[in-house]
Amino acid sequence: MTEPTTTAPDGGWGYVIVFCSFMIHVVIDGITYSMGSVYLEKMLESANLDAKHSVISAIFSILPAIYMLSGKYSPIATILTTRYGCRLVTITGACVGSLGFFMCYWYEHIYWYWLGIGLIGAIVSVTNYFDRKRSLAMGFAVSGAGCGTMIFPKLMPWFLKHLNGYRKGLLVESAIIFSCILFGLLMKPLPWEPSEKKAGNKDTKNKLIDLSLLSNIPFVLFLISNFLTNFGFNVPYAFTEDLAMHDGIKKSHAEYITMTIGIGSIAGRIIIGFLGDRNNVNRLTLYNFTLIIVGVATVLEPLVSKSNLVLHLIYGATFGFFTGGYISLIPTVLVDLAGLDKMSNAFGFVLLVQGIAIAIGLPFVGFLREKIGTYLVPYIIIGLVIALSGIMLFIIPFLKKPSKSLSITKTEIVVTPTGNSDIDYCKSIPV
> What is the length of the chain?
431
Stretch among 157-166, 207-216, 333-342, 354-363 having the lowest mean pLDDT:
207-216
How confident is the model at residue 106, as a pLDDT? 75
Q: Is the model's pLDDT at 358 over the cut of 60? A: yes
**pLDDT, tens digit, 9 for 90 and up, residues 170-222:** 888 889 888 888 888 887 776 655 544 444 444 444 455 677 888 889 999 99
Cα 152-155-160 angle, rounded to 5 deg: 110
| pLDDT score of 24 | 83
- Return the bridge partners of 426, or none: 415
Q: What's the pLDDT score for residue 135?
A: 58
Q: What is the DSSP annotation of 305-356? A: ITT-HHHHHHHHHHHHHHHHHHHHHHHHHHHHHH-GGGHHHHHHHHHHHHHH
Task: Residue 108: name the closest of 42, 168, 48 by CA.
Answer: 48
Q: Say which amino acid occupies 109.
A: H
Chain-centre distance of CA 36, in angstroms?
17
Local confidence band at 389 (pLDDT 50, 70, 90 cut-offs) = very high
**DSSP per position, 213-255:** GGG-HHHHHHHHHHHHHHHHTTHHHHHHHHHHHHTT--HHHHH
Yes or no: say if 329 and 350 are a contact pair by the CB < 8 Å rule.
no
pLDDT in tens, 75-127: 666 666 667 777 777 787 788 778 777 877 776 665 555 454 333 333 444 44
Model confidence pLDDT, tens digit, residues 256-303: 888 899 899 889 888 888 888 788 889 999 999 999 999 999 999 999
CB-based contact 264:324 (threshold 8 Å): yes
Q: Which residue, 22, 321, 64, 274, is CA-closest to 148?
A: 22
Phi, psi of 412 (to 5 degrees): -120, 125
Query: Is 233:360 a contact under the CB 8 Å cutoff?
Result: no
Whether residue 391 is predicted with pLDDT greater than 90 in this model: the reply is yes
Q: What is the CATH architecture of 6-430?
A: Up-down Bundle (1.20)
pLDDT on residue 52: 62
Task: Please report, rounded to a whole number, the percentage of residues in the chain having pLDDT higher than 70.
Answer: 68
pTM of the model: 0.70
* pLDDT tens readout for residues 244-259: 888 888 877 888 888 8
Q: For 386-399, b where at least 16 C-beta lie within 10 A, e where not — what string? A: bbbbbebbeebeee
User: CA-to-CA distance for 292 and 81, rounded, in angstroms?
Assistant: 34
User: Residue 167 and residue 169: Cα distance in Å, rounded?
Assistant: 5
Task: Domain ranges for the chain, please list them.
Answer: 6-430
Averaged confidence pLDDT in the chain? 75
**Residue 405: which pLDDT band, with cuts at 50, 70 and 90?**
very low
Integer Cα distance of 169 and 247 in angstroms:
28
Are 111 and 209 contacting, i.e. CB atoms less than 8 angstroms apart? no
pLDDT band at 141 (very low <50, low <70, confident <90, very high): confident
